[in-house]
Structure 1
């Protein structure tokens, strides 16, 4: 018997960048995300008689992180036999496009269904959070909020129940290479920045403002707040007292400059960047083709995809 689940990536509009409890993956801030339809992970779990195994994109790969997470699920759900986890990522891995979010959300859903357990998405979000914090938000479609909480119970994600709107994300893929600084390591370093406390306070205010913008379907306000939040987050990396670093490349900066030029032309376009060099441009469905054309004009070799609001976890 086997069970398959599909979960989509999400892009944080208000970022999660720091852990107050690394074991429980409790974040230092609450966050808000948009789930993307075009990027997703499909995961099938099948019992086996030997040991946990991970097959990713048709290749048998290191199981350390997956095995650790499955053992957490065994502690939470009761012991279960070893599993073969067969996963297909329709998103570059470890390049700042939230592949771990969709992967651990799909794995959590597949395992619980394989065990015959029907859990609410809120309950699943607490479990998925232990594998990857952002995975808590990938249980939901459209806009989701992850409450930072103070313990395992109070740190969970839920849908914002936002109205439909013609929002789009133009994804400019600078690199699909595995990033040199992992998200967890990047967060650890960023928390040593002398500006980290100020960023936390700013983020709390932006969290409130973003919810209001989403419910008002104000895409320009959504984009403006998201860009400020993201660029401030990346500034922490540059000012870290322990091993300052950046995910930006020269091409990342060039894309940011192009986005500013697009805005000066009167078009709606705002950038957000997660832990990696790739840039996501928040815009509308009607403006997205103009953004793509402007990027290709200056960077003709750039790989670009346009993503739309995506659905929550599904099961086959």
Structure 2
């Protein structure tokens, strides 16, 4: 087995919330997600940390300093770190009213304050703050030019706030967010934001859907009659996609996808996350992660110190099985063996 110790391997806790709720399944508690993460082990290798969403019911963004200290101690006692944070910006669309946009920026500020305190406690040595436009594709499409300008303006203001805390913001590549729903729209939004501390968060499931043109048929990269056995064409599509987005990429989610969209609870349809061992998965996880983790010449980018598994909207029965997390960890280890380094 490789001796690579970077990138660090993280699990996400927000799959216990995302897609859950009254019209779906009950939320899985933060402690339960933490327990499964800490218990996972493959060949003596364990997860190095967790990425967390700063939203109820897992995390109270306004918790006291003492509460944050207890959170840090709970994670540290399991020999884990905290990496990237998800800012709860959905109460204020980035292309909304002046007041809504101000709410968006304020949620980013609070998230940066929270992240700074975790750094001071020694539990968060790396990671970014993740954002999205908090706006639907349908509303964005009513006035694409001006709505993208508004999103970029809001992102600039959020970036300026984040810079005061030494934080970078990663815009999530997910097809359900207006102005971020295709690879060209995402690049346009990032270009217009024009701040040194804005970047892209690639998710192997969500961003994969960019190539299929969901919510933006004109930006489709793979042919409509694509044969999933045609690995050469798939690799060429990956090269085109990653050439465009890799220079922006500062946060990365390992995942599997079966080429379809899915939504549950209150979450809109986006790239379906599949189990690492799903026979219907269209990705060669280890190979395809390399398109993001290496540049066009095959050299490691080392653009981030950790990678995270994201498996939102899995059934609770699946997430309650420890073997699920062992299989996920095994897939993460293979990615690090193939594309990691010693640091």
Q: With the length of structure 2 as denominator, give the TM-score of the two structures.
A: 0.27
Higher relative contact order (CA 8 A, sep 6+): 1
Higher strand share: 1
Q: With the length of structure 1 as denominator, give the TM-score of the two structures.
A: 0.29
